[in-house]
Amino acid sequence: MSNVLWQFPPMALHLVIFDCDGTLVDSQYGIVRSMQQAFLSFGLIAPQPDAVKRVVGLSLDHAVSVLAPDLGSSDVHQVAGTYKALFRELRLAGESPEPAFAGVIESLRILEDRGYLLGVATGKSRRGLHAVIERLELEGRFVTLQTADDVRAGKPAPDMCLQACAEAGVDPGHAVVIGDTSFDIEMALSAGAKAIGVDWGYHPADELSAVGAAAIARHGDDLPNLVDQVFGRSA
C-alpha cells in the first residue's frame, strides 16, 4: 500500500485589482480644481468639471490631450506637469482630502480574509498613490501597485492589469478589476480578466455595463459578495 497522502489541490490564487480615483477614494475636488488651474496658467480655457471627470483614469498626458486636442505634445506635457504640481500643493495644504468611499476599506479587509490577493491599477502617479495608501493606513495591504509611472500605455490598454497579474503570480483569468470608468472595464477585458463596475464614481453605471462589466456595486459593502459571484465562489 502506498504511503502517499492524497491532498486536494490548493485553490487557485485570485487577484482583485482596484482603481483608485473614483473607486477607492473621492478625489474629484482636487482633480477638477488642479486641472482647471493648470489650463488657466497657460492661457487656456478651463475645462468644465464634467469634462474633467470624464477623463479621470487615463494617463495624465492622455487626459490633457483629450481635453485640449489641439495642443502639441510638448504643451500637453507641460500642462500635465503643472497639474501634478498643483494637485500636490493642494494635498500638502490639506485642501484635497480624498476620503475613502463608504464601505470600501472594510471590503478590502473582508476580501483579504476570504483569501483574495489585492492590487491597485491607477492613472495616478506612484507618489500620489503612495500618499493615499499612507493616509488611509493601507500599507502592506496590496501585493501589486500599478501606476501611470510604471507602464508604457495606460488605461484602457491592458498593460497595468497584465503587469499586476504577473507580479502577483495570478493568471489574468483569475483576476477581476473593480473600477468606476469604462477605461477600467475595457482594460480588464482586453487583458482577459473580469470586471466589476461601481456606481459612485465618474462614469454612469449603464455605461459600465454596456462595455462589459459583469456586475455593478451600488455600495462599498457590496464588493466582497460580488467578487465571490464573479468567480463562482461562495462566501
Chain segment 136-165, per-residue pLDDT in tens? 999 999 999 999 888 889 999 999 999 999
Out of 21, 26, 159, 180, which one is annotated catalytic? 21
CATH of residue 66's domain is 1.10.150
Question: Cell triple for residue 130?
Answer: 503612495
Average pLDDT in the 194-209 region?
Answer: 97
Contact 175, 161 (CB under 8 A): yes
On whether residue 2 sits in a domain, the answer given is no
Q: Read off the pLDDT of residues 68-109 as tens digits, 9 standing for 90 and up.
A: 999 999 999 999 999 999 998 988 888 777 899 999 999 999
On whether residue 150 sits in a domain, the answer given is yes
Report the alpha-carbon distance of residue 230 to residue 3 in Å, rounded. Answer: 39
Report which of 54, 157, 29 is spatially closest to residue 146, judged by C-alpha positions: 157
Looking at the fold, whether 42 and 61 belong to one and the same domain comes out as yes
Out of 19, 26, 159, 180, which one is annotated catalytic? 19
Determine whether 149 is an active site residue. no
CATH of residue 19's domain is 3.40.50.1000
Determine whether 113 is an active site residue. no
Domain span at 158 = 15-27+99-230
Q: What is the pLDDT, as a whole number, of residue 4?
A: 41
